[in-house]
Amino acid sequence: MSRDELNIKDNTSLFKEERYVQQRENKKQFEAPCSEQETAEALAYSKSAEYMEKNFSRQNVVINPHKACQPLGSVMAALGFEKTLPFVHGSQGCNAYFRSHLSRHFKEPTPSVSTSMTEDAAVFGGMNNLIDGLENSVALYKPEMVAICTTCMAEVIGDDLNSFIGNARIKGVISEEYPVAYCNTPSFVGSHITGYDAMIKGILSYLYTRSGIESKPGSGEESGEKLNVMLGFEPYTGNFAELRKILGAFDTKYTILGDHSGNYDSPATGEYEYYYGGTKLADVPQAANALATLSLQKYTLKKTQEYISGTWNQQLAALSTPLGIKGTDTLLATISELTGLPVPATLTEERGRVVDALMDSHPYLHGKRVALVGDPDLLIGLIGFCLETGMEPVHIICSNGDVDFNEVKFKDEAEALLAASPYGTEATVHVGKDLWHMRSLLLNDKVDLAIGSSHLKFAAKDAEVPLVRVGFPIFDRHHMHRYPIIGYQGTLNLLSLIVNTILQQLDDHNSGFNFELVR
Amino acid sequence: MDPLRQDEFDSQACGSMAPKAKPCPRPKPGEAAGGCSFDGAQITLLPIMDAAHLVHGPIACAGNSWESRGTLSSGPSLSQYGFATDLTDSDIIFGGEKKLKDSIDYIAGRFAPPAIFVYSTCVTALIGEDMDAVCKEAADRIGIPVIPVNSPGFVGSKNLGNRLAGDALLQYVIGTGEPEPETDLGVNLIGEYNIAGEMWDIEKLMNSAGIAVTSRITGDARYKEITWAHRARVNMVVCSRALLGLAREMESRYGIPYFEGSFYGAKETTYSLRQMAYLMNDREMERRVDRLTEREEARLSQELRPYRKLLRGKRAVLYTGGVKSWSVISALKELGVQVVGVGTNKSTEDDVRRIADRVGDDTEYIPEGGASRIIKTVRERKADIMIAGGRNMYVAMKEQIPFIDINQERHKAYAGYEGLLRLAKELTYSLANPIWKLAASPAPWDKEAPPYDR
């Protein structure tokens, strides 16, 4: 059946019908007894400067948060390793949230299990749950490694993962050799990015220590001429592909540490396999011998970076997400420096093409005031991109921006970056604020464009600002994560997204005189 | 027709069964289990649209879940806001009660809701916050109801959370208000959450038959209407697993008779409407219902004809929670779709009995979760389509199995007569889409057939 034979209305059109309008009117008797005028006044007040001041002096409640919790990041990190089962130690609901959250973003299944702790575990500790859980999940899902992270509950009651895993081995539930990595990730500390970091560090250090290898960075043995690359909490599978393309163009050998792109971009073959791709477990200890490590989210990967430059004693280059021309330039220069290889001509050529594209679009971007919401490393990249296109960042909110790397705080770096450009003079960076703060900002100091996750859509709608969806999570658009936003190609994608949103606005809000064919 | 349909209900008078003491089953460690009690409590109460819902705990519980359910509102949107106390490690050590108090005050002062629901989480339950006391004190001080919902995640499954939310309504909400004297009293709809606007379809039908809705518990509800739910003449339990206890308790406290029913499928819809009229003991209303249902069924059967032709003999695996496990079977049967596998892990014993009544012996029961278990049934039973919730959707896609989302994230309303039409349309579209053929045929240079040949 190729077309509607029946006109069955759905909720977008059905509820505009008179009888439903009537039904809604009838319902008002149950609502707070205030007049339409009062409602309008309250709404207007919530958009006022006076309200904004009160909103910003708010201390004790978060309204519309823009961060997720540590174990969510840990689950993503665990999926970056070959045949590794993410295992959440705590009550079951957390795990259900992580699976839904990640699946809604990537439109892919998320294999992850939980110890399903209940109140008896709260009293007696979660050891039995962990041991039973290991036994069941290994039998059911046949992973080659289990990566355990904790939730609030396990942390509050003080469960000792190391000894529990040891006891599981003693009980014979898993063999002595069976790899089980773990990290502690209560959600009342940090956010999804710190949880990602904790799990990556947990897996790297665990696999390295148990291998018995002594790191000799750049020694040439085994994989000494390789480069290690980490992308961090990466919501774009396309970014992995783009990075592979760039490294391939350099013709350098490399290991990506934590590659979940396989799991979140697997083909529909007719058979679901639970595990797709990921960093090979055997490659992890060898990575200690690599030439150097390149990290593309320096704030996110703070502890992992400290571990690599400390314990592995390895050269480390840490950047924020390489967005825009300058961001990508820095990436290529860094790869060139670390490997000693020249920047390939193909990439220089690509750079030229993207610069050309930016020039084509610049009249529509120049002076556009934008609001940005995201994780710290993404924001550093986005600010850089905006500044080089002549867009002016105005409001920047980073809920989980209370992080530093090498004693430079995110906020300070962002402000320095903004201060160095004439397009950054109006910007204010708000750390630890939420999307209700952003709503006040959008309403009181208008911008042309908002850039951020799907969660920003409510505030953007209230302020009638178009939203370009970038970052995590993107629930209400399809396939955004398949297109890279890093590298020159990513810059082009980001540019098309933004400039075409602006052009669409022009068409949607044309005055009748400027509905033009050529832009 | 005898409206009580003795074959489907116990021979006892409806609703006089003693509550079963059997608790919700414990989740099994090491499986990809569903939501927790906290999640369940929110599911039940978030559709009270004009209330504020404050999560007392670390950011995760709110941060991972706010505004992600398809329960629609016809007006107020306060319920969609993600309010959280965002406890940090120092609050865990020194306690978060002060923060909770301040949060409640802030919300009351800035948003002026008719009520604030405060949810405990694993953390606040473990560190021993006296949430009830804080809420009581705050309610006395600010003069609006502040309702503690004690349903931390670790106490158990999502279903248990539904029940605990029902307890909170019984304890703090129902019976605290009175309807206007001229209000036409009728039926409480319990356990209907207005996913994709289903509630509105149901309400429209009831209105057509002259049956008033007294309180919506809780799809597109207003706080105030729930306070006078005790004045209703009949309770209809739409999702039995979740809030049956609430209906039972209301029967014993207020003498309101209840019945369990569904709006999935024409027969179930007709039955539910008839049962309402019957329990209201109103002859005239019964006649109106008969006229309405006859007319609607006739129209429906006409309009369904083209779909029936296409759907006849198709085989489906149904994996869903609670009442839908059996009620959707009826809807599918009416469309000529055979249910060859059905999930029962979230069904009550009564639900399972009803499933058995409807599917016969030829259907496989899937007692526990996990994608592989469901997929196995789809393969072995050579099913044409899988009907389940969002967490299983992408697995179905990987397996190239046509899929329909039946749970809380769906965007289509399947309740009532029109809902059945929508379901028929969605099934047909999902089955007929050319993508399945494309997916199942190998690339031209690849002779080997894909592993699962349907």
Task: Write the secondary structure of A67-99 as one string of H (helix), E (strand) and C (coil).
Answer: CCCHHHHHHHHHCCECCEEEEEECCHHHHHHHH
**Does residue B9 register a pLDDT over 90?**
no
State CA A69 to chain mean position distance. 12
CB < 8 Å to A11, chain B: 72, 196-197, 411, 413
Facing A187 at nearest CB: one of B30, B60, B156: B60
**Which B residues in the span 355-414 are in contact with A, Cβ-Cβ below 8 Å?**
370-372, 375, 390-395, 397-400, 411-413
Chain B touched by A306 (CB under 8 Å): no
Is the pLDDT at B11 greater than 50? The verdict is no
> Rounded to an integer, what distance in angstroms lies between the CA atom of residue A451 and that of residue A324?
15
* Residue contact B35–A97, C-beta within 8 A: yes
**Residue from the list B33, B203, B204 with its beta carbon closest to the beta carbon of A95:** B33
User: Which residue does chain A place closest to B302, by CA atoms?
Assistant: A6
Residue B370: list chain A partners with CB under 8 A.
Answer: 140
* Residue in chain A nearest B197 by alpha carbon: A11
User: Residue A426: phi, psi to the nearest 5?
Assistant: -85, -10
Q: Strands A369-373 and A449-452, how do they pair?
A: parallel
The amino acid that residue B295 corresponds to is R
- Check residue A251 and give left, alpha or beta (phi > 0: left; psi -120 to 50: alpha): left
**Consecutive sets of 10 residues in chain A, 519 residues long: mean pLDDT of each?**
56 74 72 75 90 92 91 97 96 89 92 90 90 93 96 92 95 95 92 96 96 84 85 97 97 96 90 90 94 96 96 96 96 96 96 95 95 97 96 96 90 96 96 95 96 96 96 94 97 97 92 81
Asked whether the beta carbons of B231 and B224 are under 8 A apart, the reply is no
Crossing angle for the helix pair B198-208 and B283-311, to the nearest 10 degrees = 130
User: Which of A11, A135, A151 minimises the CB distance to B413?
Assistant: A11
Which positions in chain A touch B225 (Cβ < 8 Å)? 30
Give the per-residue pLDDT at A373. Answer: 97
Residue B315 to residues A78, B329, B415, Cα–Cα distance (Å)? 37, 12, 21
* Type of residue at A246: I
List CB contacts (< 8 A) between B28 and chain A: 116, 132, 136
With vertex at residue A49, the alpha carbon angle to CA A48 and CA A54, rounded to the nearest 5 degrees, is 100
Q: Which of A64, A99, A187 sits opposite B32 (nearest CB)?
A: A99
Contact check, Cβ <8 Å, A104/B68: yes
User: Would an 8 Å CB–CB cutoff place B72 in contact with chain A?
Assistant: yes
pLDDT of A510: 85
Query: Mind giving me the DSSP string for B46-90?
Result: TTBTTSEEEEES-HHHHHTTTT-S-B--SS--GGGS-EE----HH
Check if A518 is active-site. no
Q: What whole-number distance in Å separates Cα of residue B134 and Cα of residue B116?
A: 12
Residue B7 has pLDDT above 60, yes or no: no
Angle of CA points A487, A317, A305, to nearest 5°: 115
Tell me phi and psi for residue A416, to 5 degrees: -65, -40
**Kind of pairing between the strands at B234-237 and B213-218:** unpaired
- pLDDT in the model for residue A180: 97
Are A20 and B200 within 8 A, CB to CB? yes
Q: How far is B371 from chain A (nearest CA, A)?
A: 9
- Between residues 83 and 102 of chain A, which touch chain B (CB distance below 8 Å)? 87, 90-101
User: How many Cα atoms occupy the beta-carbon half-sphere of A154 within 13 Å?
Assistant: 32
Both tokens of A68, joined, read: 């997720």
The packing angle between helices B283-311 and B266-280, to 10°, is 170
Size of interface A-B (CB pairs under 8 A): 308
Q: What is the mean pLDDT of residues B419-444?
A: 88
Contact B320, B387 (CB under 8 A): yes
- Whether B86 has a pLDDT exceeding 50, the answer reads yes
Contacts of B152 in chain A (CB under 8 A): 91
The residue-averaged pLDDT of B414-437 equals: 90
Mutate to test the interface with A, among B24, B26, B36, B391 (most CBs of A within 10 A): B36
**CA A138, CA A83: separation in Å to the nearest integer?**
11
List of chain A residues whose C-beta atoms are within 8 Å of the C-beta of residue B391: 96, 99-100, 103, 109
pLDDT tens digit string along B326-345? 778 889 999 999 999 888 77
Using CA atoms, how far apart are residues A130 and A146, in angstroms rounded to an integer? Answer: 12
Q: For residue A444, give every residue at least 6 positions away whose Cβ sits within 8 Å of its Cβ, in sequence order, or none.
A: A47, A48, A49, A52
Interchain contact A180–B (C-beta under 8 A): no
In this structure, are strands B83-84 and A62-63 parallel, antiparallel, or unpaired? antiparallel
Could you give the CA distance from residue A465 to residue A454 in angstroms, rounded to a whole number?
13
Mean pLDDT of B240-253: 88
Q: Are A362 and A495 a contacting pair, CB within 8 Å?
A: no
In a 13 Å sphere around the CA of B304, the CA atoms on its Cβ side amount to: 27
Chain B residues 246-285 with CB within 8 Å of chain A: none
**Tens-digit pLDDT profile for residues B112-156:** 999 999 999 999 999 989 999 999 999 999 999 999 999 998 888
Q: A10 vs B66: CB contact, 8 Å cut-off?
A: no
Contact residues, chain A, for B224 at CB < 8 Å: 30-31
CA distance A24 to chain B (A): 6
The radius of gyration of chain A from alpha carbons, rounded to an integer in Å, stands at: 25
Nearest CA in chain A to B88: A188
Q: What are the backbone angles phi and psi of residue A295, rounded to the nearest 5°? A: -110, 130
Annotated catalytic residue A152: yes
Listed by number, the residues of chain B in 6-35 with a beta carbon closer than 8 Å to a beta carbon of chain A are 26-35
Query: What ranges make up the beta strands (E) of B389-446?
Result: 403-405
Q: B24 vs A100, which has greater pLDDT?
A: A100
Range among A268-272, B77-81, B181-185 rated most confident: B77-81
Q: Which of the residue ranges A240-244, B303-307, B312-316 has the most confident prediction, judged by mean pLDDT?
A: A240-244
**E runs forming strands in B255-366:** 258-260, 315-318, 338-343, 364-366
CB contact under 8 A, B29 and A14: no
Q: Does A13 contact B at CB distance below 8 Å?
A: no
Nearest CA in chain A to B76: A31
Chain A closest CA to B363's CA: distance in Å?
23
Q: Is B123 within 8 Å of A156 when comparing Cβ atoms?
A: yes
Distances (CA, A) of A417 to A296, A387, A421, B426: 18, 9, 7, 51
DSSP H stretches of helix in A251-375:
283-287, 302-310, 324-339, 345-365
3-state secondary structure (DSSP) of residue B93: helix
pTM of the model: 0.85
Residues 118-177 on A with a CB inside 8 Å of B are 118-119, 121-122, 129-130, 132-138, 140, 151-153, 156-157
The Cα B260–Cα A149 span in angstroms is: 42
A23 and B74 within 8 Å at the Cβ level: the answer is: yes
Following DSSP, what letter does each residue of A205-229 receive, concatenated?
HHHHHHHTPPP-TT--STTTT-EEE
Contact at CB, B451 and A27, closer than 8 angstroms: no
Which of A321-339 are b and which e, b meaning 16 or more Cβ less than 10 Å from the residue's Cβ? bbbbbebbebbbebbeebb
- pLDDT, position A187: 85
What is the predicted pLDDT for the residue at B346? 63
**Per-residue confidence band for B454, with pLDDT thresholds at 50, 70 and 90:** very low
A21 touches chain B (CB under 8 A): no
* Inter-helix orientation angle A49-56/A36-46, to 10°: 60
Would you say the C-alpha torsion A491, A497, A500, A506 has a positive or negative sign?
Answer: negative
Of A11, A68, A132, the CB nearest to B63: A68
* CB contact A36 to B (< 8 Å): no
Beta-carbon separation of A99 and B82 below 8 A: no
Residue B397 pLDDT greater than 90, yes or no: no
Let me know the angle formed at the C-alpha of A318 by A317 and A322, rounded to the nearest 5 degrees: 115
A69, A94, A152, A465: which one is catalytic? A152
Q: How far is A11 from chain B (nearest CA, A)?
A: 7
From the centroid of its chain, how far is CA A376? 10
What's the distance, CA A346 to chain centroid?
Answer: 29
Length of chain A: 519
Q: Collapsing DSSP states into helix, strand and coil, what is residue B346?
A: coil
Q: Say how far apart CA A276 and CA B222 lie, in whole Å.
A: 47
What interhelical angle do A127-141 and A161-170 show, nearest 10?
A: 60
